[in-house]
Amino acid sequence: MENWAKKITIWYEKNKRELPWRKDKDPYHVWISEIMLQQTRIEAVLSYYKRFMKELPTVKDLAMVEDEKLMKLWEGLGYYNRARNLKKAAIMVMEKYHGNFPSTYEEILSLPGIGEYTASAIASICFSLPEVTIDGNVLRVYTRVYEDSCTIDLAKERKRIRKNLMEIVPQNSGDFNEGLMEIGETICIPAGVPKCSQCPLYDECLSRKNKTSLNYPVRLVKKEKPIEYYTVFIFYYQDYFFIEKRKKRGLLYGLWQFPNVEGFPSTEEIKRYSRNLGLDIVKIDKGITYTHVFTHKKWNMKSYYIEVSSKNIEQSSGVFVTEDERKKNYSLPGAFQPFQRNFLERRKKEK
């Protein structure tokens, strides 16, 4: 293993991609990139990262940013609690560490929203501490190299693999960790046949020799995600449509949304719902249906486009906005964006 640790760092130095957060080892830059990269591929993150850094270039800026602006900067990345925890952690860095990012693994791990993986990445990349990062890419490379048939979803197996890698982590631990992740991202890919001829671990890899690469890693069989049913209402007046802040605790709490109810109400129930909002209906049209997949559940949604007689409404948690205003000031989670796009397309055709 010590031999292939050296191969990884040499390969990484020659083949690493030029990424904005790799230009320096500023822990703020690495931290933001690592949080953004959770559940998201590098190609998708680049534009978000650049925009985020332009608006919030320092940890102090992040600690002081208004929640609405933060959510807008995060729009499209999903998992919005990541953004909320970023701000909480930034406040903690300012108050407890006087604006200086903590430099030990334990201190980094104590920040809100930072787990073992992110703490290890920051500690090794920014402070050259002998820590190992364990993510899906690393687990895929490891289990293929050793034809390790453990179930990687089990914490005890991830802990075992981390222990094994900790025994060989070199002095340049950051390059080692980034190299392993880079191999998993670009060569030992999760979908499709791995590009074994380009891999620095070509000679060591048992699954390559035995043509068993696609058997690894072994995962637990995923349970079918529970489905929840909702009806979404797009109330509009001329070029304005109505959005409100989500009050229900839990998923998407505090974010902007189109009004919605559980289940599929009747026409009379829709009219009653509209009256309760203080809106007079002009006409109701059926909209699209859409199923949005979250990590642990699915939302099966149908929609109605409802023209109203006025945009004057006494609704403290909601507002009528144009699309330009919405783009500039209000974040709309991905679960509701298909309805928005379809609504705008329909309005364009009507004109």
pLDDT at 41 over 90: no
Residue 250 φ then ψ, to 5°: 110, -135
- 147 and 270 inside one domain: no
Record the pTM.
0.86
Number of domains in the chain: 2
- 231 and 205 inside one domain: no
Dihedral, 23, 26, 32, 35 alpha carbons, nearest 10: 90
Maximum alpha-carbon separation in the chain: 73
User: DSSP labels for 1-45?
Assistant: -HHHHHHHHHHHHHH----GGGSS--HHHHHHHHHHHTTS-HHHH
Across the range 213-221, mean pLDDT stands at 93
> pLDDT at position 251, please?
83
- 329 and 205 inside one domain: no
Give the domain-ending residue among 215, 239, 267.
215
pLDDT at 179 over 80: yes
- 210 and 93 inside one domain: yes
pLDDT at 317 over 90: no
Average pLDDT along the chain: 93
Across the range 205-234, mean pLDDT stands at 94
CATH at residue 172: 1.10.340.30
pLDDT at 96 over 80: yes
User: Any idea which of 51-55, 128-132, 346-350 has the lowest mean pLDDT?
Assistant: 346-350
Give the domain-ending residue among 215, 242, 266.
215
Q: What stretch of H or E contains 261?
A: strand 260-262
Phi-psi map region of 39: left, alpha, beta (phi>0 left; psi -120 to 50 alpha): left
Across the range 62-72, mean pLDDT stands at 95
> pLDDT at position 314, please?
67
Cα 12 to Cα 7, 18, 32, 131: the distances in Å are 8, 11, 22, 17
Distance CA 196, CA 205 (A): 9
Across the range 216-242, mean pLDDT stands at 94
Distance CA 184, CA 15 (A): 13
Q: Domain residues for 265?
A: 227-350
Cα 208 to its chain centre, rounded Å, is 32
- 107 and 186 inside one domain: yes
Q: Which two tokens stand for residue 70?
A: 């933060």
| % of the chain with per-residue pLDDT over 70 | 98
pLDDT at 351 over 80: no
> pLDDT at position 316, please?
62
Assigned domain for 297 exists: yes
Cα 242 to its chain centre, rounded Å, is 27
- 84 and 195 inside one domain: yes
Assigned domain for 324 exists: yes
Establish how many alpha carbons lie within 13 A of residue 249's alpha carbon, considering only the half-sphere containing its beta carbon.
0
Write out the catalytic residue numbers: 34
Residue 212 φ then ψ, to 5°: -120, 15
Across the range 62-81, mean pLDDT stands at 93
> pLDDT at position 73, please?
95
CATH at residue 270: 3.90.79.10
Across the range 237-244, mean pLDDT stands at 94
What is the CA angle 286-299-292, rounded to 5?
85
Short-list 18, 35, 6, CA closest to 182: 18
Tens of pLDDT, residues 199-212: 999 999 999 999 99
User: DSSP labels for 160-201?
Assistant: HHHHHHHTT--SSHHHHHHHHHHHHHHTS-SSS---GGG-TT
> pLDDT at position 337, please?
94
Short-list 224, 141, 236, CA closest to 183: 141
Distance CA 213, CA 206 (A): 9
Band (43; pLDDT cuts 50, 70, 90): confident
Assigned domain for 222 exists: no
> pLDDT at position 315, please?
60
Across the range 43-52, mean pLDDT stands at 93
In sequence order, what are the beta bridge partners of 235? 306
- 279 and 306 inside one domain: yes
- Asked if 110 and 119 count as a contact pair (C-beta separation under 8 A), the reply is no
DSSP β-ladder status, 227-237 and 298-308: parallel
Across the range 285-306, mean pLDDT stands at 95
Pick 348 or 241 by higher pLDDT: 241
Across the range 36-58, mean pLDDT stands at 92
